[in-house]
Structure 1
Amino acid sequence: MACTEGYVEGAFGRTWYKITGDVTAAKPPLVVLHGGPGCTHDYVDSFKDLAATGRAVIHYDQIGNGRSTHLRDKGAEFWTVSLFLDELDRLLNHLGIAGRYDIVGQSWGGMLAAEHAVRQPAGLRRLVIADSPASFKTWVAEANRLRRDLPPDIQEVLQRHEDAGTFDQEYFDAAKVYERRHVCRLVPKPDEVLRTDQAMIDDPTVYRTMNGPTEFHVIGTMKDWTIESRLHAITVPTLLVSGHFDEATPLCVQPYADHIPDVRWKIFEQSSHMPHVEEKEACLAAVAEFLDAG
């Protein structure tokens, strides 16, 4: 499948993107929003296989991450939802697809996709929100509930370091126990997931600022984020995706199901936070079926 890469210039640097397939194909192009905030496109790279169904698939690294411009000196006031919404709009316009496109957003990418959709952009046709909470307060409460099932010694290490504010290697090693249960259950992790992991180690600016040091210790600028009261404004058909062992638990996802008028929900029984990796074929098939239904 043909693949092209390029950059979109913006006020604060440039955004790298990759197109798999042909944007002039009959089916609307699919734009993939990665998670984090602060991840890279690598771990959601599997969605490129949907180009085989006759649509272009567009990945990009959000500003501050991956192959896009890094801005390590920017403070908390810089990293906002609006920054990333503006970047998405700029990408759509640059590629000439703002009039007709679909979106799949994973984790933070799904939150960003929902923020985009509540604005009711004229060109958005279908929306996939994968493994995403509708409120960070619910996310944290559920993460702490899941955390209480970790081995007592792991819980002790995590709590001790969080109380002291010492996020060292011992802390992150303990956090991996949670990640193996609720983020990616595949052993070993696929290469594309490892690439994103390493990128976040190399430059944790965005993740640490907006989220915090780990998936469950959310102390960043997004800690009070919620979209629950605005979900009724999403008018396009929407597919929710999550995993049985997902850190985005049913309670996290439920507001999307309750308040988006045209919605359906698929739970993958053998997956945690990455059904597109853990049950790749089944997940991609479900997404393709949904996108083709319109």
Structure 2
Amino acid sequence: MTFGMPSYEGFIPFRGYRIWYCIVGDLSLTSVDSFPVLALHGGPGIPHESLQPLEQLALSGRAVIFYDQLGCGNSDRPDDLSLWDVPCFLEEIAMLRKTLYLERVHLFGHSWGGMLALEHALKEQKSLASLMLASVPAHVPAMFAEQQRIWEQLPSDILALLSVEGEKKAATHQQALAYFETHFYCRCDPWPDYLLQARTPEKRNTQLNQHMWNNVLYDWDIIPRLHMITLPTLITAGYHDGIAGGQDALLSEHIKSSQHIIFSECSHYAHAEQTELYLEALQKFMRQSEMN
């Protein structure tokens, strides 16, 4: 879905593999008051479909660029897990920007994509018009601790499902996970098709996801470096977020040039749960950034 706007898909070479990208809107119309948006999806391993509502930002005349990080979505899926670390993902962004001549962009990152956005901003701050961080962790050990706290406070009948053993274990654990996800991950009922599509085995890469969180990101902490970010930054979060709950406050405290919005009816996917309100906030912020 591109709302009748022009779109272009392609691939760029990266370390012998292919990275898929899509441009919604017209990059040739880029100007000082309509810089494009580069959108970084989360996961790792949950592809660009999860960010589909952001396509609508192109209706205002600015292009929106999506891509699937190596290992998921429409990009190639190498079997070698050793390929994946933070420098690899940062190299992807640099290659994409170089290939598409994205000299100045508004950088949007959701969840893990926001962690990447922060790392990229610390290296390339002068080439960014703004930074938009959606449900983004700042301190992974604290994030894991908060997730554990939320799980421990679930209703007793849900917790009982986690104690079931034997043949019914898989099914009951899935029931508990479903409860958690519908309350603290995405509160849409039903979930939008684009989010369901992003989570299919053909699109999502759970092996990559587990590798990154268990072996690479488990102790990631960017708080000591946040004071170095001085560009306009928008921090958004859902009040009911059970993935990165409370992390937005850490970001807001340490990024002095930031604005902070909490969506009271949302969880981890505010852009899906209150799309119109969310996109209005992004548009307003980007216009303010460009005026300054």
TM-score of the two chains, using structure 2 as the length reference = 0.90
* Residue in structure 2 matched with residue 79 of structure 1 by the alignment: 84
Identity of paired residues, percent?
A: 35
**Is 1:10 aligned to residue 14 of structure 2?**
yes
Equivalence map 1:144-223=2 (5 Å): 144-158=148-162, 168=170, 170-199=172-201, 203-211=205-213, 219-223=214-218
* Residue in structure 2 matched with residue 265 of structure 1 by the alignment: 260
CA change 1:201–1:17 in 2 (3 A) is: closer
Mapped to 2, the partners of 1:101 and 1:208 lie a distance apart of 30
Cα RMSD over matched residues?
2.1
- Does the 8 A contact of 2:46 with 2:205 survive in 1? no
Corresponding residue SS for 1:119: helix
* Residue in structure 1 matched with residue 59 of structure 2 by the alignment: 52
Corresponding residue SS for 1:255: helix
Cα-to-partner distance string for 1:184-208 (whole Å, 9 max, x where unaligned): 0111110001001114786422112
Bigger fraction of residues in helix: 2
* Residue in structure 2 matched with residue 138 of structure 1 by the alignment: 142
Which 4+ stretches in 1 moved above 6 angstroms?
none
- Does the 8 A contact of 1:39 with 1:200 survive in 2? no
- Does the 8 A contact of 2:10 with 2:20 survive in 1? yes
Q: CA deviation at 1:171?
A: 3.0
* Residue in structure 1 matched with residue 230 of structure 2 by the alignment: 235
Q: CA deviation at 1:223?
A: 1.1
The one of 69, 72, 80 aligned to 2:76:
69
**Is 1:42 aligned to residue 49 of structure 2?**
yes
The one-letter code of the counterpart of 1:191 is: D
Q: CA deviation at 1:221?
A: 2.7
CA change 1:240–1:230 in 2 (3 A) is: same
Q: CA deviation at 1:111?
A: 0.8
Q: CA deviation at 1:250?
A: 5.4
Mapped to 1, the partners of 2:225 and 2:254 lie a distance apart of 8
Corresponding residue SS for 1:133: coil
- Structure 2 unaligned segments of length 5 or more: list them: none
Cα-to-partner distance string for 1:131-166 (whole Å, 9 max, x where unaligned): 0110111111111111122133433444678xx9xx
Q: CA deviation at 1:102?
A: 0.9
Q: CA deviation at 1:17?
A: 0.5
Q: CA deviation at 1:93?
A: 0.6
- Structure 1 unaligned segments of length 5 or more: list them: 212-218
Mapped to 1, the partners of 2:23 and 2:201 lie a distance apart of 21
Corresponding residue SS for 1:293: helix
The one of 246, 253, 263 aligned to 2:248:
253
CA change 1:207–1:172 in 2 (3 A) is: farther
Mapped to 1, the partners of 2:222 and 2:16 lie a distance apart of 27
Mapped to 1, the partners of 2:47 and 2:183 lie a distance apart of 21
- Does the 8 A contact of 1:38 with 1:200 survive in 2? no
Mapped to 1, the partners of 2:216 and 2:158 lie a distance apart of 26
Cα-to-partner distance string for 1:13-43 (whole Å, 9 max, x where unaligned): 1110111101122211100000001101001
Q: CA deviation at 1:169?
A: 5.0
CA change 1:169–1:17 in 2 (3 A) is: farther
**Is 1:283 aligned to residue 275 of structure 2?**
no
Q: CA deviation at 1:88?
A: 0.5
Aligned length: 281
- Does the 8 A contact of 2:40 with 2:117 survive in 1? yes
Q: CA deviation at 1:238?
A: 0.1
* Residue in structure 1 matched with residue 100 of structure 2 by the alignment: 95
CA change 1:250–1:230 in 2 (3 A) is: same
- Does the 8 A contact of 1:138 with 1:251 survive in 2? no
Mapped to 1, the partners of 2:58 and 2:21 lie a distance apart of 15
